[in-house]
Structure 1
């Protein structure tokens, strides 16, 4: 006992006496950090500084402030935005025929004209330049609704309002550039594209080989300083029809006309496509989608310096421009496409499962179908919650690169799962192409969302935890900056301050993790009572486990963690599912705790909890130091975590909510464009009539059961006989005939 007391006293002396602490703890740890922690390259440093953190930092801390999370205002739209959606968007949707668009490989001329005339390319442009100045929430909602009707049109609208000339000009353009280009972009007079991807530069945008050489040349009758730019880009959306080309390339100054440096870095410029030497027009065929996508080339095309975004001062700042604007695009556009497809699947599949019958019952009555239908509804709720919340962060003037990467990866992947389930339930109807198939075109387009703006494999394995570990951790990024920016003598005191705070933070998490592991977090504070209380407690527990595991991974593996992508991706999955579950719970609270939504909320959160703890277990099982991993796993959930995938009983509740609560079904599929004609309208109308005639159809089928005299009769003849036998009255007979006519039309497929 005396020895233990002596050790504690000595430890206290070491920590309390700064000279001893510096010598015995701070300097050795700082030297270890120099060799162990990942160093940041210039491009990584710029990427870190280009964005910021939000709720992701809270989740990474191990102590998320749920009260603060709930205090964030609910997502909303302005009256102006609602009016646009209720009028101009509705009109656009009525003009879209995706089957014809894909056949023509282009939008109709009338649609192009309408998009330009009504400002569909001007959502992000301020009103003083003739734009609409819509919120990210409105931008996302509009694109999602269009995506439920036509992916080709949605992508066409999405690109000018995402990463592109307008976005870059607003943040980095000179006043002259803004005044010249933004009114033209707002009116549709100028149609933009942005060219980044090249043969050997895809997700690794920093490796682009396209270049510009600083030189003097004649331009508009004068000798001016500029660049001779050469490029060969591919996969560029709107390039075949663009009138202004945003271009990313590297700048070199071999004659030192601008200064001492020769390699000046990635730069972005705006070039009219009518400019001599610019080549556009060649098209790709992205999975038969009808939007414009193609190549652009140029060889030693001279441009003046004032065509560079930001002017001369913008040279070399292109990488920072790109990473800051890409995060906004990831947070708005691709989640919107995913939500549109998911809402389409939820709306139509819930209807199809009701009107399609096998073995004398609607297929919605079969548990195998219910399992897939519940997953569709639960994941769609999660997708919509994340879409709304992430757009809200952007409206709050945040640039949360990690959160937008989470949204991009997980929403596109969940949308793929939802679509696959929808196709499974629709079976033969889902695979026969034609005007009656409302799923096939979106199904074919899903891999495009998976691929663009950072392929999903890269996003998951390198970005989410790769940036999240340093950006979101309360101390690691600051510690790395201190070590890299100062010499040892200058760094000791600030590093010591950070280290002591870091040790205190980790020590608290160690104790919390053990307590949560023993109690399964049952005594953890939660901001609400009722059926969702336990979800908050378990999420706090998972957050603590993540924080502790991240410290173990970074200190144990150091710089090699960058190369251990499978390990880091699993920690990224934990962070991602914490965020997804947070969004679902936030939406449930802001929507007024609608009881009809509770089954879908529970499904979404339980799915994320199960996936989050599963990813954590797999991290422990595959960690380089198995003894430490075993001890930490035992420490953090010594009695097990008990988080499983949604139960069978919950699956039934989700399906019942879809069937019996029209309000709940509407909320989880409200982005789906139903319209007044077309295949989706047909299915929805058949569903409405099927529900309205459910009782008399049951009586009718009961009367038919076992009869052989009606086998050769048509449905109309059977109904007439049932009316004559007074099984149903004449009015009910007419309703049954009408419902059957629409049911047959809804489940029919196209023939050629």
Structure 2
């Protein structure tokens, strides 16, 4: 019995949701899993080729309507994220940055011209997007960003930099948030613009199978039509982050599930003192504790997914999901590694890779501390951020 059977998760899904999950899982097993340890070891990802394949699979921006997007439900999207992250968090990051950050920003806040120009190509994986919000001194507090955009006639002139940007150095378009004389505004920036440069960040110990970059803007001139017309203030980027966080609520559990499955398979075949490791009480306790936390996380994810589909989910509820499920997933990956003993530090087995990746997932899209304070503010009415 696996954890989905233990909690009867399939009974909570409809036929379309199960079919989407199974399709993405089959793709991951066939096309991604055989290569992921090598990509992680070498610190690379063939992201452009993968984007086109993922576009054919239909999961880039799959939860958006129109412009080549499938318009699936939130749970179906979450399950797709989970299957991608069951292979590697870097792969889910590619999907969620494309769909829930860059595409969502254009879809939700962009002009019709911007939508027509970019969304169909991005949904097909023919164009890759990135999302420029974080800066070296502005992570948890994006209001302190220094990147600025100044009016010059009908144009805007962009200066500044962004850091830790997934897909940055391979992107065709960047959604960049900048301080203006009025408010923080978003801009759709083609990466072939004069004054745009991107430098890939090397020597990472986490998310190695992912492209992470610094973006630099030096007197980058943009036409007035580059402005996202429906976003003014921090509500724009924070709305995009809530979309991405939702994918993480499901996605992180994929890394946890894969770690647990690997540990159980190993324990069944590894003999210690003349019997399988799985026959020992302490091993079974570890497995049961991990399975219970994984199942509880899945029930939370499903509940939040249905709330999102009903249009009633709140940012605080998203924070609860991200806080709990990532925290529990990294604990599961670490515990699963202990069952593997010395073999657990080898890339032949996935838990140590998942644990390393989840260190990044624990931090990005809001740290554990930030989400704790979001929930604390909701419960007490007191703002403890400052």
Fold match (TM-score > 0.5): yes
Higher fraction of strand: 2
Structure 2 counterpart of 1:121: 60
3-state secondary structure, aligned to 1:148: helix
State the Cα deviation string for residues 624-677 of structure 1 (Å, max 9, x = none): xxxxxxxxxxxxxxxxxxxxxxxxxxxxxxxxxxxxxxxxxxxxxxxxxxxxxx
- Equivalent residue for 1:246, pick from 175, 189, 204: 175
Structure 1 counterpart of 2:228: 309
For the Cα contact (< 8 Å) 1:238–1:292, is it kept in 2?
yes
- Equivalent residue for 2:50, pick from 89, 95, 111: 111
1:205 is the counterpart of 2:205:
no
Output the CA distance in 2 between the equivalents of 1:174 and 1:322.
16
For the Cα contact (< 8 Å) 1:327–1:400, is it kept in 2?
no
Output the CA distance in 2 between the equivalents of 1:421 and 1:226.
54
Map 1:442-461 → 2, pairs under 5 A: 442-460=354-372
For the Cα contact (< 8 Å) 1:117–1:187, is it kept in 2?
yes
CA spacing shift, 1:373–1:170, aligned 2, 3 Å: same
Structure 2 counterpart of 1:190: 127
1:133 is the counterpart of 2:71:
yes
- Equivalent residue for 1:180, pick from 110, 117, 120: 117
CA spacing shift, 1:77–1:175, aligned 2, 3 Å: farther
For the Cα contact (< 8 Å) 1:75–1:137, is it kept in 2?
no
Measure how far apart 1:236 and its partner are.
Answer: 0.3
Structure 1 counterpart of 2:350: 438
1:327 is the counterpart of 2:242:
yes
Output the CA distance in 2 between the equivalents of 1:135 and 1:285.
38
- Equivalent residue for 1:265, pick from 165, 177, 183: 183
State the Cα deviation string for residues 237-275 of structure 1 (Å, max 9, x = none): 0001000010011102xxxxxxxxxxx111011110011
Measure how far apart 1:175 and its partner are.
Answer: 2.1
- Equivalent residue for 1:298, pick from 211, 214, 217: 217
Q: TM-score, normalised by structure 2?
A: 0.89
Output the CA distance in 2 between the equivalents of 1:88 and 1:110.
17
State the Cα deviation string for residues 363-391 of structure 1 (Å, max 9, x = none): 23323223222211110111111122222
3-state secondary structure, aligned to 1:406: helix
3-state secondary structure, aligned to 2:70: coil
CA spacing shift, 1:290–1:345, aligned 2, 3 Å: closer
3-state secondary structure, aligned to 1:279: strand
Output the CA distance in 2 between the equivalents of 1:210 and 1:91.
39
Measure how far apart 1:284 and its partner are.
Answer: 4.0
3-state secondary structure, aligned to 1:371: helix
3-state secondary structure, aligned to 1:374: helix
For the Cα contact (< 8 Å) 1:243–1:273, is it kept in 2?
yes
- Equivalent residue for 2:164, pick from 228, 232, 235: 235
CA spacing shift, 1:282–1:361, aligned 2, 3 Å: closer
For the Cα contact (< 8 Å) 2:28–2:83, is it kept in 1?
no
Output the CA distance in 2 between the equivalents of 1:210 and 1:459.
25
CA spacing shift, 1:402–1:363, aligned 2, 3 Å: same
Give 5+ residue unaligned stretches, structure 1.
1-73, 217-224, 253-263, 470-549, 555-560, 566-752
Measure how far apart 1:78 and its partner are.
Answer: 5.4
For the Cα contact (< 8 Å) 1:338–1:411, is it kept in 2?
yes
Measure how far apart 1:89 and its partner are.
Answer: 4.9
State the Cα deviation string for residues 271-296 of structure 1 (Å, max 9, x = none): 10011111124334442511111110
Structure 1 counterpart of 2:261: 347
State the Cα deviation string for residues 184-216 of structure 1 (Å, max 9, x = none): 222222210000011210010111011111122
Higher fraction of helix: 1
Higher relative contact order (CA 8 A, sep 6+): 2
CA spacing shift, 1:168–1:77, aligned 2, 3 Å: farther
Map 1:499-648 → 2, pairs under 5 A: 550=380, 561-563=382-384
Structure 2 counterpart of 1:390: 304
Give 5+ residue unaligned stretches, structure 2.
1-10
For the Cα contact (< 8 Å) 1:211–1:231, is it kept in 2?
yes
Map 1:692-703 → 2, pairs under 5 A: none
For the Cα contact (< 8 Å) 1:196–1:247, is it kept in 2?
yes
Measure how far apart 1:401 and its partner are.
Answer: 0.3
Measure how far apart 1:226 and its partner are.
Answer: 2.1
Measure how far apart 1:564 and its partner are.
Answer: 9.2
For the Cα contact (< 8 Å) 2:249–2:322, is it kept in 1?
yes
3-state secondary structure, aligned to 1:162: helix
Measure how far apart 1:416 and its partner are.
Answer: 1.4
Measure how far apart 1:356 and its partner are.
Answer: 2.0
Of the two, which has the highest radius of gyration?
Answer: 1
Measure how far apart 1:399 and its partner are.
Answer: 4.0
CA spacing shift, 1:388–1:398, aligned 2, 3 Å: same
1:465 is the counterpart of 2:373:
no
Output the CA distance in 1 between the equivalents of 2:271 and 2:57.
44
Moved more, 81-90 or 243-252: 81-90
CA spacing shift, 1:240–1:416, aligned 2, 3 Å: same
1:155 is the counterpart of 2:93:
yes
Q: TM-score, normalised by structure 1?
A: 0.47
